Every structure is written in C-alpha cells, then in structure tokens.
Amino acid sequence: MKYMFKWRLWVIVFLSTLGFIVKFIGGYLYCSKALFVDALTNIANIIALVATVYYYLKAYIPPDSDHHFGHYRLGFAGTLITIIIYAFIAGVVVCDLLHVREYTVKQEAPILALLGLLLYSSVVYLSRTVSEYLTVYGLFTVSEVLESIIVIVASALGYLYTYIIDYVGATIIALYILYELQHHLKYIIKLLSDIAPPVKLVNSVRMTVEKYGVKVKRIRLRLVKNGLYQGDIVVSFPPNTTVKEAHEISNMIERELKDKYNVDVVVHIEP
C-alpha cells in the first residue's frame, strides 16, 4: 500500500471521528435530534470506511491453497459490514424518533453543527484526493455535506422557533439512512448473483475467440468484482487440427481475453 494513501486515510479517519464527536455533543448535550442522527450516520460511515479499505486490500492477495480463485470476493465484506452497521444505526434512530417528547434545542447545537460541517467538508475533499479507493464505494460523498447543511438549518430554526423543525430535519436524515441501506443492498445482491457482463462485452469476447478460426459453442461469464469476469468457453476446432495446435491456440485466446478485457477463462475444446 502506498505510504501517502495510508497517511491520508488516517487523517480522514481522525477528522471524521472529530466531526462525529462534535456532532454527538451537539446532538446529545444540546438537544438537537437532527444533529444526533447525523452524528450516528457519521460513526457508521467511519466504521464502513475502515472495513471497506481493509477488505479492499485483502481482495488483492493472490490465490492460495484455501482460495483457488483469488480473494476478490473478500472485497464484498466491506459492503456487508456497511449494511450491517447502517441497519443497526437505522434501528437506533427509529427507536429514538418514535419516543419523542417536547424538547428545547439549545443555541450551541447549530454552532456545533456548523463546526461539524467544516470538519466533514475537509474529509470529503481529502477522500477525493485518495481517489478511487473511497469514491468508488461512495463512502464520502457530497450528500454527506448536504446532510450537514440540512442539520444546520433544522437545528438553527429548531432553536429559534420550535423543536418540531429540528425533529423534521432528523426524520429527513433518518429517511436518507434507509435510502443508503437499500442502495448498498441492491449493489451487493447484484454482485453476488453471478451476473453476466453486458451483452456488448460478451459479443466482443465471442469475436475475439472467433478470430482464431474456431467455432464458439458456449460462453459462460460471471462478474467476480467490478471490472473482472471469470468463466469458461467451449469451442470446436476444424477437424484437421492437432491437439498441440488446439492447445496453443486455446492458450493464446485465454491470454488475449485476460489482457484485453480482464476476463479469466478456461477454454474447453470439443471436436
């Protein structure tokens, strides 16, 4: 792992933890439910971040005796943990929102919310510079900043007018947690379903194979992780091909598909 990446990652974890603490204090001590719920989504985010990066790196371990196809699918563990932690937070939040009594939002709440936003904006900015690791998984997105802005407005108006506005803000953030949950669920269900590549890629694979003068009888490809496919292809060679020739051509096909499309296949030869 790149040293710079590690360094920035820890800064991100540190700043978002700080953001969480600030928001939690504002939410809990200064009685803004909106800020409290926002703080909980932040802690979920931090745990999800650490889990995602941890398993993302594990996924690159080469095949070994207990994982013959490589460790790519360990990458899903990050998403699974994200789902579990978000579901837990959703439960806590729903419970909190249901048991509501009239409350008074204190002046400090919107101020701490603003501080939280500043911290979080720097986290979002930093995570962009770490690039693909974090943005691919959409862990730190602009929506996080939007969330913070909603909370500032809700808690400020809650302080100035009525707690109900703050409560509505909390409900909006809670609904967003549910949205995030179903989004992550959809993503992982799709990836775990052995989904085939887009038809266009299958056709390109077929054309690449046919270029070698063989007949394609069957193609089976499945997504292993984003951008990587595994499968098998059944082909038949012209009658006068020797076993040696057929074997060499099969090897060439396998290599070309790997280099060109990141498709790992075994070519099975039929007469």
* Positions in the binding site for Zn ion (CB under 5 A): 64, 66-67
Q: Which residue, 6 or 67, has its beta carbon nearer to Zn ion?
A: 67
Residue nearest Zn ion, CB atom distance: 67
Q: Which residue, 65 or 242, has its beta carbon nearer to Zn ion?
A: 65
Angle, CA 17 vertex, CA 35 and CA 118 arms, to 5°? 60
User: Which residues, including other chains, have CB under 8 Å from residue 113's CB and lie 6 or more apart?
Assistant: 23, 26, 32, 34, 35, 38, 148, 151, 152, 155, 156
CB of residue 73 vs Zn ion: minimum separation in angstroms? 11
Q: Which residue, 66 or 259, has its beta carbon nearer to Zn ion?
A: 66
The runs of H, that is alpha helices, within 59-107 are: 76-98
User: Which residues, including other chains, have CB under 8 Å from residue 11's CB and lie 6 or more apart?
Assistant: 126
Sheet with 215-225, side-by-side order of all strands: 215-225, 228-236, 263-270
CB of residue 74 vs Zn ion: minimum separation in angstroms? 9
CB of residue 193 vs Zn ion: minimum separation in angstroms? 23
CB of residue 81 vs Zn ion: minimum separation in angstroms? 19
CB of residue 77 vs Zn ion: minimum separation in angstroms? 13
CB of residue 60 vs Zn ion: minimum separation in angstroms? 12
CB 117 within 8 A of CB 20: no
Report which DSSP code applies to 60: T
For the chain, the residue count is 271
CB of residue 63 vs Zn ion: minimum separation in angstroms? 8
Q: Extract the tokens encoding 67.
A: 């994982």
Candidates 49, 29, 31, 232; CA nearest to 141 is 49
Q: Which residue, 64 or 102, has its beta carbon nearer to Zn ion?
A: 64
CA distance readout (Å), 233 to 72, 104, 215, 222: 21, 67, 10, 12
Q: Which residue, 64 or 132, has its beta carbon nearer to Zn ion?
A: 64
Q: Which residue, 67 or 186, has its beta carbon nearer to Zn ion?
A: 67
Q: Which residue, 59 or 221, has its beta carbon nearer to Zn ion?
A: 59
